[in-house]
Amino acid sequence: MMKRIAILSLIPAALLAACGSGGDGNVAAPANSVAAVSAPAGQDWTQTVAATPEGGYVMGNPDAPLKLVEYGSRLCPTCGAFANTGMRPLIDNYVKAGKVSYEFREFLVHGAPDFAPALIGRCAGAQPFFPMLEQMFAEQPQVLPRMEDAGAFQQQLQGQPPAKIFTAWAEKLGFIDFAKQRGLTEAQVRACLSDQKQIDALVKYMDAGSNAGVTGTPTFFLNGQKLDNAVTWQAVEGALKNAGA
């Protein structure tokens, strides 16, 4: 396990290039229209959030006929572009209607830097997961410039335990203050960054994503079928509409 962590602590150019590689994607042929489904009384489907056995978090109707899964990196600019243009219409127009459930799974294409926001984003559990995710993507213009010396910074951390490496990245990228501003204490954040069980789990989920054919971010699956090269909201919405949403 530690060997795998050491490999992930690097930032290979091929993986950086994998963030956002692709075009508009392939979509299925048009299907019959999917009917809206009412949420439980006094709620809407955005309040139904749960962890999944595959390591993600899913929002929406558990029995939604259309199940959208995203493998993403919180530091991937193309994932950020999708989130900033598509997450609100996805949630407001499709998830709230009970037609679509939306699951996000971490895929750590940048290695060590990606662990920091992933661990913090999962720190508070299910209900804050998607608001934190959306806000992390909105913060990318402030965060990504701090990645410019990533190679040199990672070199300084060589030989340190994974928890110390991820904590150093969280400090550098501003995620500890980000989490404190959203209700977590600094002690909670640092404990999450040092949670070996969660670190090991993220490595396991990364391996599972690779085995499923994920090579870059974002990668979307609709009802278990990979949407090849679909990285934009336009492409993903097209797939949803063609599936009847």
Sheet of 219-222, strand order? 49-51, 57-59, 100-106, 66-72, 219-222, 225-226
Residue 43: pLDDT over 80: yes
Q: What pLDDT is attached to residue 30?
A: 47
pLDDT band for position 19 (cuts 50, 70, 90): confident
Bond prior to 218 in cis (omega within 30° of 0): yes
| Domain at 2-22+47-240: CATH architecture | 3-Layer(aba) Sandwich (3.40)
Q: What is the mean pLDDT of residues 200-213?
A: 95
Query: CA–CA separation, 220 vs 227, rounded Å?
Result: 6
Residue 144: pLDDT over 60: yes
Which 3 state secondary structure label does DSSP give 70? strand
pLDDT band for position 20 (cuts 50, 70, 90): low
CB-based contact 202:57 (threshold 8 Å): no
Q: Which of 236, 193, 238 is nearest to 86 (CA)?
A: 236
pTM: 0.90
Per-residue pLDDT tens for 46-59?
999 999 999 999 99
Angle at 125 between CA 133 and CA 154, to 5 degrees: 55
Query: CA–CA separation, 79 vs 232, rounded Å?
Result: 9
Per-residue pLDDT tens for 66-108?
999 999 999 999 999 999 999 999 999 999 999 999 999 999 9
> What are the sequence ranges of the domains in the chain?
2-22+47-240
